[in-house]
Amino acid sequence: MLRIRRTGAALLCAGALLVTVFAATSWPCRFARFEKMARACAVSGQTVTMGALFAGFHWEEVYIDRGVFSAGEGLKQTYGLTFSVPRSTREDRARLLFFADGALVEVGTYPKYYLTIQEDRLLPSTAVTFSFGPGEKILVLEPAQ
């Protein structure tokens, strides 16, 4: 009986750890951390790198796919990228496509009517600033001068 309780407790702890790791590395959690830091930088005027904004996983460049009902065709043609993503289905969202060693490693969406990213391609070392757009609701990300 004691052995079953220990095994059950160990399985419960392992399951809780897996859920915690998944939640901490999921796109909604990453974007929530990004949004919180971006808003703080917009208020303070602080410059930050893209690598600091999207830490916790290895990536070398991020491309922004703004196309409506797109599967990244414009990025593939412009930058010579090779990847496969489903066609976007929402007009109000854009995608961030993170690459490492030439391969797609992470895909995340963001609300394009609440965040404007000026560039199509950014590196972890790219210093960026944030400001507020119309109505103080739209965050604007621009490479630092």
pLDDT in tens, the chain (145 residues): 556 666 554 444 444 433 333 334 587 898 889 888 888 989 999 999 999 999 989 999 999 998 888 899 999 999 999 999 999 888 899 999 999 999 999 999 998 888 889 899 999 999 999 998 776 678 888 998 7
* pLDDT at 10 (0 to 100): 47
Q: Coil, helix or strand for 61?
A: strand
Domain ranges within the chain, ordered by starting residue = 2-66+93-143
Cα Rg for the chain, rounded, in angstroms? 19
Q: Which CA distances in Å does 2 have to 6, 9, 12, 13, 111? A: 6, 11, 15, 17, 51
Closest CA to 64 of 142, 122, 132: 122
